[in-house]
Structure formats: structure tokens, C-alpha cells
Amino acid sequence: MSVTRVMVVEDESIIALSLGKSLERLGYEVVDTVTTGEEAARKARELAPDLVLMDIVLAGRMDGIAAAREIRKGSDIPIIYLTANADAATVESARDTMPYGYLNKPINERDLLTNVDSAIHQHRMERRLRESEEKYRGLIENLNDIILSTDEKGIVTFISPQVREIAGYDESEVTGRSIIDFIYPEDRTLVGRMFDAGNAGFAQKGEFRVVSKSGALIWLRTSGRPSFVQGRFTGVRGILSDITKQREAEEAVARVNSEIAMANEELESTNEEFETQNRELIAARDELMEQEAMLRSILRVAPVGIGIVRDRVLGWTNTMLNDMTGYPEEELAGKNARILYPSDEDYEYVGIEKYRQIQERGTGTVETRWRRKDGSIIDIMLSSTPIDQSNLGAGVIFTAMDITERKHAERALAESEEKYRHLMDNMSDSLWVLDLKTMKFIYNSPSSVNILGYTEEESREHSVADVVTPEYLDLVAKAMKEELERDGSPGVDPDRTRMIELEQIHKDGSLVWCEMTMRFLRDESGRPDRILGVSRNITGRKRTEQALAESEEKFRLLVEHSPFPITVLDNATGRFTYSNRALAGVFGYTAVDVPNLHDWWEAAYPDPAYRKKRREAWDKALEEIGRTGIASSPQEADMRCKDGSVKRIEYRLMNLGKKSALIMNDVTEKKRTQEMMIQTEKMSSLGGLAAGMAHEINNPLGIVLQGVQAVLSRLSTDSPRNREVAERTGSGLEAMRAYLEEREVFDYLAGIQDAGHRAAKIVSNMLQFSRRSETAIAPVDINALIEKTIEIASNDYDLKKSYDFKTIHIIRDFDADLPKVSCSETGIGQVVFNLMKNAAQSLSTVKGPGFKPSMAMKTWREGKHVVLEISDNGSGIDPSVMPRVFEPFFTTKTAGTGTGLGLSVSYYIVTTIHRGTISVSNGPDGGAAFIIKLPFGGA
């Protein structure tokens, strides 16, 4: 947990010092102590402390209260006031700045701890509360259902903004009014009973109608729970979902059922009244059967499950219900409905609740669960209407809608609207019947309006030619002609279907792509006289197919022109079937160079041991993508290019079935940059450590030097005061000095003073080093930078441990008139230090009598550049590896002594950041020489 950072604002130094000590003892960090209001406001912006202790009465034009107001304008920093005897007016003025507490002077540590801890805790809780409120507000505003909250009297206390989209009301028009005001009068008793049930502690579920602002009726389904505070009913909280379209579909099915029932009644009445008119009776019966067949055909392809149940024993069921449950029609017929329920509780609940609703309002709708034949559980919306309202034993026609997705959506509000829309989309197909003689529609389901914009009544006024584009009208005519010619031929299924895709004309003139599935309906002689069709709007799919084709082309271009090398491998043969341009651009290899995986291993990994290691990693990646079916985890490897260079490559495999895709990324520069950042962080950390040590050493060092200076001052014969004290104490000053000189005390003091000054110089260098942790570009004296770096290298522990830098003779040849260079002192300092370190390592390997290691530092001006040369008299660099010394990961050192990135990072700093050059060569007398050229203008 981070330490709390406190800023103290107090113009009395003793009190400020005491407060700082107390805060540090209590575990807080004092980031600064300031004495004026103006400084407090400025420091608060710069340091952003966690808390401010503010003295109300401050010297200067701005007191503590004014400073607090200034701080609060730009930040949310808690403030505790310090006061000794503030009057009522001052306290009242301070209260306007919303302080987190007051501390009366003198301040004891217990009150300090209590107030600071309480203020920090309170501030954090207030921040979390604000964040929580923002998250809650975002959730509420993005829901597609209405969230409602009432008090115990049914008065609306909160309603979400979605009420505007669903019912047209603004939140302010609903809040504060009784929920009953908006309920359709016929449903108010039902809603009242639901509210009473909530008062009794029961959850509310039900459906009712509300009147929108425009006067239209909207069906809503509610799912709510009562709210209780200390056992007292305080209202209800619930979610309201718009189910108007679903109810309209159910009512359409009910109308069809009613027509069937009325037709049956008419048939029975006709049979009783006209028994002697057999011919007319047969004709009427055939006509009725024909209508029933038509209706059954419509019901069979209906997008919801439909069936008949008598005394809870299943009868006829349509195809959708069979598909929904997994049971064929013959396996359901004659079975008790219990077969569909996962538990006795679900079965009993539906029996009680559904028939209760039927007795109350003639129809029943419940939500329940069914168990499919394969054992999986689905959520069902079950709506039932009796065939004979006065005789439930005659049977009940029910519709079943799979609402599993919607139920999941209710459990996960973030996905509710998408899944609910998906469920509704499954009911968007249009059913229609076309008369072959007139070529006009004699039936259109209500959902047709969603496709072409025509109501059921309007569609009957149009022929096929009115709603099909001329281009596709010929296609329809041709298809009908073909089917009519085939009809009756041996082996041709009379109940066959045919599907065509065509463009239709919307009521508003726009074009709509539809997928039509059609079959013939026949007269009593078996001749086709009508067409039963199901239309589905596939405009979106058509656009998607077009977009997909365009996307595939874009993807091909994207892969081809991708900066990442991509190749596709045939898993069976090991051959590369595709490689993009970037592969040759990064590695230099073409399909001719590496036609297969074996050739790739040989070219990219020439070292057999390393090749074996990479093959093992490759096999693991293949096993991973075979197991997971997705891309493998990213891996890195050093791969040789055609020109002999080595690059660090990040790659991953992707499963493409019988093929695998290898996607690569050249991260050589990234690795170099990371190493540079690590070095920069290291230098920054060392700078902070150096600053801390320097400040800690300076205090005792100053006391030592001042003490020596004071002793020498007290022994000076030039001081009359010294002579006066010596005579008064009976000690001769000259005799005392003679004794001290004889005993070499003055030599000891001079030695202490000299050592102190040398230590002070080291401390000064450490402070200079710490300030160089900044990476800003600024004018820099290169000669001074080299001197400081030499001083740092002389005291570097790592260098001392392996190669004592102080044993190396440093030769300086500096141009005194050298202009300053705009550069990053830390960056160039890091380059110089790295070259010195490399030279020291090289010198340490040279053995032999009389060898004296030396290093030369030379600077001069060359045109518009400052030139720096660092050379040594070591063993030099092998000419065969000299072209590769600046490559990432290339090193001639033993394992564990280098990463191979030092010179690469130095090259990057000089050439990329500072737009300079760096080169290397061997001197005529041995040793290596690095030359750096930096432009005057800097980076």
C-alpha cells in the first residue's frame, strides 16, 4: 500500500518542523513544507499531495482559507485546517472550502493521527462513491428495458431514460406520479393485485398494458421485487420489457384458432340442419377441410411452436414445436404433458397458473421450463387459449416460444437487448397465400408489414407484379412455369418446396431482398390453385455477402501489404503455399530460397544446437494450436537473414485446419529500445540513490570541515582574541603552536582537511550525476561531460570489481573552444560510459610484462559537428566481426557477461535520437577507436 503524502502549510518554523517530525513518526511522507498561501497553491498543483495541513492565519496577502479555495479549484485534495484561536466568522468562512477537519494548536500526535487518517479514509470513500455512481448511471442509461422504482404507495420515485423510447414520456413526467395513472383502465386491478403481492413480500411477474404519451397501447412484462427496510415495505423495484410485438403475434394465432373453431361450429350446425342435403354438406365439408388444410399449412411453418392439449394430454403439434423439443410428432401425440417438464414443481405450476388465467380473462400466458429429448433445458413462453371457452374439456390450443435466450439476457442485463432482439428476429418471417388465377395475395400474415410495409388488408389489393421488380418478375414466372410443367410427373413430390431469392419493392419505393420458400396448395381435384409461401427479409445478408466479398479483398490486400511477415504452411507436405512481400523484405528470402519448412530451418537457424531448441518450441506450438484450435502463445527467436544479419523475431502459429499460418514481427528495434529504457531507468535509479547518499554525506562532512577550520582559526596568531585567551589561561600561543607542530598535529589537520575536500568533490560529482537523470535536450559541454563520466567510472563498483578503472592511464586531448551541443546529457553520458566500460574490459584481457593500460579521450570541431574519439591500447576488435558490432544481440563475451545490446543501444542513441554518427576502427598500434559525431543543433 502506498504511503500517504502530506504537505504542511505553516509560517511558524518551529511548529512546521514539529508537525513534520510527528507525521514521519506516524508513517506519513511529508512532501514539502511551505510558509505562504501563494506557495501552497503552486506546490499543491506541482506535487499533488494526498492531504494538506493548512494554517488558517498565514503571513502575506493570501491566508490559509484563500489558499484552500485556490487549491480546491483545480484539484480534489482534502484539507485540514490548523488554528489557535479562530473566531466564529473565520470558521464560517473556512467551512465554505469544505475542509475535512480542524486541529487546534498545540497539536498532539493522537489528534493528528486521528484527523489525518479519518480525512484520508473519508476522501477515498467519497471518491469510490462517485465512481460507483458513474458506473451505475452508465448501466442504467445503456439498458434497453425500463428500470422502475416506487415508494410504498405506488408513487414513482425513479424511472430510467428508456421510458422516452418505449412510451414517449420524459422521466420528469412520470416521477412523482402514481404508476396506476399510466396503466390501461382494464388492467389496473391486475397491477393493483401485483403491488399488493409485493407488499406481502412476493416477487412480481406479469403482463399488462400502459397508455403511451401518444395514446397508443403498449404491452409490458414486469419482473420486480419488493423492497423492505427494517421489515417495513418501502416500495418495489422492477424491470419493464416491451412485448407489444410478441402479443400481437399471439393474438394473430388466437384469431386463426377462433376461425377454426367457428368453422367447426358452422359445420356441425350445417350437418344438423341440412342432413338431407348431402351434396351441399360434402361440398361445405370439403371447403372447410380445404381451409383447415390451408390453416394447418400456415401453422405448420409458423415460427412458433403450436399444439393442442386435452386434459393435459398432447395431441397435434407443429414442426416448430417438434424441432424445439427434439420429439417427433408421433412421440408426443397421446403423451401427458409431464414429459416436457424437468420437475413436478414446473408441471404443477403451469397447470395451476395457466388455467387460473384462462378462467379470469379467457387466455393464459406463463413462463416455464421444458426439458428437450436430449436432456437440455430450455425456457418457454407458453400461451394457451381454449377451443371452447365454456368447455375446457374440449381442449386448449397453445403456442410455445423458446425464450431461453431472453431469459439469459435477463440474467445478464448487459446482453439483454441483443438476445431479446435475436429472439424477435426469429419471428420476422412473413406467411402468405397467392391465388394462381388472379396472381393476387389472398392472405398475408401481420408480420408482412415488417418486410414490405403493407398491412394485411393493403397486401390483398396488390398482385405479384406490384411487389416484385421487373427483372425478378420474369424469374418468378419462369419458376412457376417450370413447377407447373413438372407437377404430376412420375416421381415428383406433390408437397415439394422451391426456394428463390429475388428483389421486391417496399411500400416506400425502396428495394428489399427476400428469400421465398414456396409450395403448391391444391383444389379438391389435386390441381394447384394457390401457392403457400414464407418470405424472409435477407437484405442484410445480401449486403453482408457483398461486404464480405469486399472484406475478403481488403483482407487479401492487407495481408499482402502487411509490414509483418506472413506465410502459410501445408501441414502434410511442409511446403509454404503463400508468403507475403514483408517476408522477403525482412529476411531477404524468396520462395525459391526457402520453398519448405526444412529449408527454412537450415537458413534461419544455422547453429544445429539452437535449431534443435527452436524445433522443440515449434512442435510445442503445433501441439498447442491443435489442442486449442486458436493461435499459439507468442514466442521469440533469433533468426538469420539472407544477408547474414541476425534479427530478433516474435512469432506465433495460427490453426487453419489442414494448414497453419506463421505470423512474424521483427522486434529487433523494440528490444533495443527496451534495453535503452532499462538503462535509462537504471541511470535514473542510480541518480536518485546518488542524490540521497550525497545529501546524507554532506551533513557530517560539513561538520568535519568546519571543525578543522575552527581549530585552525583558534590557533591562529593573527587573532587578538586567541592571544587574549591564551594569556588569560597562562598558555603561550607560540608555545602551543610549537608543540602542535612538533607533534605533527597541523599535518594531521591538513590531512583531514584535504581528505574532506576530496570527499566533497566526490559528493559534488554524485549530485551532478543525480541531476543528469533527466532526459531533456539541453546545451551540454562535452568536455565537462567526459570529465564527469571519468569520475563516475573511477568509482563504479562493477568496474572496480572486475577491472579497476583507476589503474588505467587516462589521456585527455580536449578542444578548449569546443561549442556546446544540444543533447540529452543522460543519453550521451550513457554512451560514453558504455564505451569506457568496453575499453576497460578489453584492457583487462591484455597480459604481459611492462604493459601499461591507457585510454585516450579526444575532442575537436569538424564543420558543423563536435567529434569525440575514445580509444585504447588493448587487443582491438577482430576484423571479421567488426561489421556486426552494432547489431542487436551480437556479442563476443562469454555467456552471462553481456546481452549484446550495449553497442546497439549506443548506436540508437547517437544516430536516431541525436541524428549523429558512430563508427569503429582498429588503431595502427592495436586497440579499438570509437568516433562519435554530434551536430551542433542536437536532436
pLDDT 10s digits, 350-364: 988 888 888 888 888
* Over residues 439-444, mean pLDDT: 86
Which residue, 715, 791, 787, is CA-closest to 748? 715
Task: Return the CATH architecture of domain 5-139.
Answer: 3-Layer(aba) Sandwich (3.40)
- Tell me if residue 822 falls in helix, strand or coil: strand
* Greater pLDDT, 96 or 39: 39
pLDDT, position 939: 42
Task: Give residue 38's identity as a one-letter amino acid code.
Answer: E
Q: Name the pLDDT band for 139 (thresholds 50, 70, 90).
A: low
* One-letter identity of residue 206: G
The hierarchical CATH code for the domain 561-660 is 3.30.450.20
Burial state string for 700-725 with b = 16 or more CB within 10 A and e = fewer than 16: ebeeebeebeeeeeebeeeeeebeee
Beta pairing partners, 867 = 860, 933
pLDDT band at residue 896 using 50, 70 and 90 as cut-offs: very low
923 vs 368, which has greater pLDDT?
Answer: 368
pLDDT per position as a tens digit, 745-763: 888 888 888 888 777 766 6
Would you tell me how many other CB atoms lie within 10 Å of the CB of residue 237? 17
pLDDT at 802: 63
**Cβ atoms 298, 431 nearer than 8 A:** yes
**pLDDT tens column, 200-217:** 878 778 889 999 989 889
Judge whether residue 416 has pLDDT over 50.
no
Alpha-carbon distance of 212 to 182, in angstroms, equals 8
Q: What three-state secondary structure class fits 32? A: strand
Instruction: Tell me what the mean pLDDT of segment 380-405 comes to.
Output: 85
Query: What does pTM read for this prediction?
Result: 0.32
Residue 631 DSSP code: P
CATH 3.40.50.1370 fits 775-939, yes or no: no
Question: Where is pLDDT greater, at 796 or 414?
Answer: 796
CATH superfamily of 252-403+420-425: PAS domain (3.30.450.20)
Q: Whose CA is closest to 604, among 659, 660, 562, 662?
A: 662
What does the angle CA 874 – CA 878 – CA 881 come to, to the nearest 5 degrees?
A: 135
Q: Tell me: the pLDDT tens digits for 454-507? A: 888 888 888 888 989 988 888 888 888 888 888 878 888 888 888 888 899 999
In tens, the pLDDT along 239-248 reads 888 888 888 7
Alpha helical stretches, state H, 75-168: 88-95, 109-142, 163-167
Do the Cβ atoms of 567 and 583 come closer than 8 Å?
A: yes
Is residue 811 within 8 Å of 857, Cβ to Cβ? yes
Determine the 3-state secondary structure of 435 from DSSP. Answer: strand
Percent of the chain with pLDDT over 90: 14
- Strand, helix or coil at 529? strand
Q: Which of 266-275, 528-537, 769-778 has the highest mean pLDDT?
A: 528-537
Tell me the HSE value of 126 on the side-chain side, using a 13 A CA sphere. Answer: 11
Q: What whole-number distance in Å separates Cα of residue 207 and Cα of residue 195?
A: 13
- Rounded to the nearest 10°, the torsion over CA 931, 934, 935, 936 is -120
Neighbours of 696 (CB within 10 A): 11
Q: How far apart are the first and last CA of the chain?
A: 40
Three cell numbers at 236? 418495489
- Higher pLDDT pick, 757 / 533: 533
772, pLDDT greater than 50: no
Retrieve residue 677's grid coordinates.
529504457
Question: Which of the pair, 279 or 101, is modelled with greater confidence?
Answer: 101
CA distance 934 to 175: 72
Q: Ramachandran region of residue 847, left (φ > 0), alpha (ψ -120 to 50) or beta?
A: beta
Selected residue with higher pLDDT from 519 and 300? 519
Separation CA 85–CA 93 (nearest Å): 14
Length of the chain (residues): 939
More confident residue, 413 or 198: 198
The string of pLDDT tens digits covering residues 847-894 is: 888 888 999 999 999 989 999 999 998 888 877 777 677 766 556 665
Which residues neighbour 184 within 8 Å (Cβ) at sequence distance 6 or greater? 208, 209, 210, 211, 217
373 pLDDT tier (thresholds 50, 70, 90): very high
Cα separation of 203 and 237, whole Å?
A: 10
Classify strands 29-34 and 5-9 as parallel, antiparallel or unpaired. parallel
pLDDT for 420 beyond 80: no
Q: Given a cut of 50, is residue 731 above it in pLDDT?
A: yes
Tens of pLDDT, residue by residue over 34-79, are 989 899 889 999 998 999 999 888 888 888 888 888 888 878 899 9
Check residue 867 and give its pLDDT: 94
Neighbouring C-alpha atoms within 13 Å toward the C-beta of 419: 17
Pick the CATH number of 430-539 from 3.30.450.20, 1.10.4160.10, 3.10.450.350, 3.90.1640.20: 3.30.450.20
Q: If you search the block for the grid coordinates 414464407, which residue do you land on?
A: 534
Q: Which string of b and e fits 858-869 if b means at least 16 CB within 10 Å?
A: bbeeeeebbbbe
Per-residue model confidence (pLDDT) at position 425: 43
**CA 615/CA 7 separation, integer angstroms:** 59
pLDDT value at 514 more than 80: yes
The CA distance from 97 to 91, in Å, is 10
pLDDT in tens, 660-716: 888 899 888 887 777 667 655 665 565 566 667 666 777 787 788 888 887 887 878
CA-to-CA dists, residue 793 to 109, 316, 452, 766, 800, angstroms: 47, 95, 84, 12, 9
d(CA 512, CA 472): 12
What is the C-alpha separation between 302 and 291, in angstroms, rounded?
A: 16
The percent of residues above 70 in pLDDT, for the chain, comes to 84
CATH number for region 143-242: 3.30.450.20
194, 614, 727 from 828: Cα distances, Å:
79, 37, 62
141-155, 463-477, 522-536 — which is least confidently predicted?
141-155
821-838, pLDDT tens digit by residue?
988 888 888 889 888 888
- Give the CA count within 13 Å in the CB-facing half-sphere of 399: 25
For residue 742, what is its C-alpha cell?
Answer: 612538533
pLDDT recorded at residue 934: 93
Distance (Å, rounded) from C-alpha 499 to C-alpha 519? 9
